[in-house]
A = this chain, B = another copy of it.
Amino acid sequence: MKALRYFGPRDIRCESMDDPRLESDRDAIIKVDRCGICGSDLHIYHGQGFSEDIGFCVGHEAVGEVVETGRGVHGLRVGDKVMISAAVGCGACPSCLAGNVANCEVGGGACYGLSARLQGCQAEAVRVPAADINARKIPEGLSLDQALMLTDSLATAWFGCRNADIAPGRSVAIVGLGPIGLMAVECAKLMGASLIYGIDPVASRRNLAAELGAVPLDPLTALDTVKEATQGRMVDSVVEAVGSDPAIHLALRLARRRGAVSVIGVNQDKRFDFPMGRAFGMGLTFRIGTCSVPEEWPALIPLIQSGRLRPERFISHTMALTEGEAAYALFDARADGALKMVLQP
């Protein structure tokens, strides 16, 4: 089949590779209808990925059709349209049985497309392990594009907002307005935020945030503006959706006493200069991590079904899988209004 494969920094190409095959009774093979490029795929693209492997298929966001199932799969049938969780659990340990796959006690933290260990889904087909847990039939009323947003990015934005203790009446700052940050603006609003600051150096992204109801701010002036507007109280909840050290530092400065800071941007720093004394004086809560995607679905699915969330509008480009190389370049350059990039095999 055709697949986007990693051959080195800025060298992801659409090449042939072996078709995926069932490796266990609980696997399913999914023919991919649509797959997405995620901001965290750019880490790999830049050669700052999570493995030394070469040639593996990348990508961890996809929807498609079941074409084959192992004998131990009972919730899915050939022909079902499914959405695949970017987080992968064993499906048998207590954590997974309770829906918390990111906390899987067996394969903790597994994800498609990070190495040759589990091939990615920017391809014509993908193998899903423990398919009853890691994929789900697309619920009635959801389009393929909407379901695709549920496989990772919308779920992550939602999780990041929950981790920031956003609640009705609270004020919020979102640091970073890529697709996930913009969706975090939407999520914060839906959770009842009274006021949302949207912070990004790119003016076009700030404009999008403003259209969603956020107060747009440039990172350079954000701190002073928020300080003045709140008479020094700062904001209740901060979501960092960048992953860079400066962005986390800004997030920590934006939070009020007893405020909460939630980091969902991928950060691999081993020695971040954490302002411990100040955090002690302020009484901060700091949360960081990735989400157990299906755990967020029960809240998100009805919100999409009823039209209150419309994540598909953050899709800026839909291209052919064979154009994947160009799609990565475009996304990396933030060119042409690139937000969510979708590929079709």
List chain A positions with a Cβ less than 8 A from chain B. Answer: 25-26, 71-72, 74-75, 92, 94, 97-100, 102-103, 105, 108-109, 132-133, 167-171, 190-192, 194-195, 233, 245, 248, 257-258, 263, 266-290, 294-295, 297-303, 305-306, 308
B residues less than 8 Å from A308 (CB atoms)? 192, 194
- The 6 A-B pairs at the shortest CB distance, nearest first, are namely A283-B289, A169-B299, A274-B274, A194-B302, A268-B277, A272-B276
Whether A192 and B191, one on each chain, are in contact in the complex, defined by CB atoms closer than 8 angstroms, is: yes
Q: How many copies does the complex hold?
A: 4
A97 to B272 Cα, complex, angstroms: 37
B residues less than 8 Å from A108 (CB atoms)? 257
Whether A268 and B276, one on each chain, are in contact in the complex, defined by CB atoms closer than 8 angstroms, is: yes
Whether B289 and A258, one on each chain, are in contact in the complex, defined by CB atoms closer than 8 angstroms, is: yes
Whether A92 and B105, one on each chain, are in contact in the complex, defined by CB atoms closer than 8 angstroms, is: no
A299 to B193 Cα, complex, angstroms: 9
B residues less than 8 Å from A270 (CB atoms)? 273, 275-278
Partner among B100, B268, B288, B301 whose Cβ is within 8 Å of the Cβ of A284: B288
Whether A283 and B288, one on each chain, are in contact in the complex, defined by CB atoms closer than 8 angstroms, is: yes
Residue of B nearest to A189 (CB): B308
Partner among B105, B132, B302 whose Cβ is within 8 Å of the Cβ of A195: B302
Whether A280 and B272, one on each chain, are in contact in the complex, defined by CB atoms closer than 8 angstroms, is: no
Query: A74-B72, A133-B97, A305-B194 given as contacts; is B280 within 8 A of A266 (CB)?
Result: yes
Whether B280 and A268, one on each chain, are in contact in the complex, defined by CB atoms closer than 8 angstroms, is: yes
B residues less than 8 Å from A105 (CB atoms)? 233
Q: How far is the CB of A70 from chain B (nearest CB, A)?
A: 10
A-B contacts, 16 of them at CB < 8 A, read: A72-B74, A102-B257, A103-B258, A105-B233, A169-B303, A170-B299, A267-B276, A268-B276, A268-B277, A271-B275, A272-B274, A272-B275, A283-B289, A284-B287, A284-B288, A285-B287
Residue of B nearest to A169 (CB): B299
Q: How far is the CB of A327 from chain B (nearest CB, A)?
A: 26
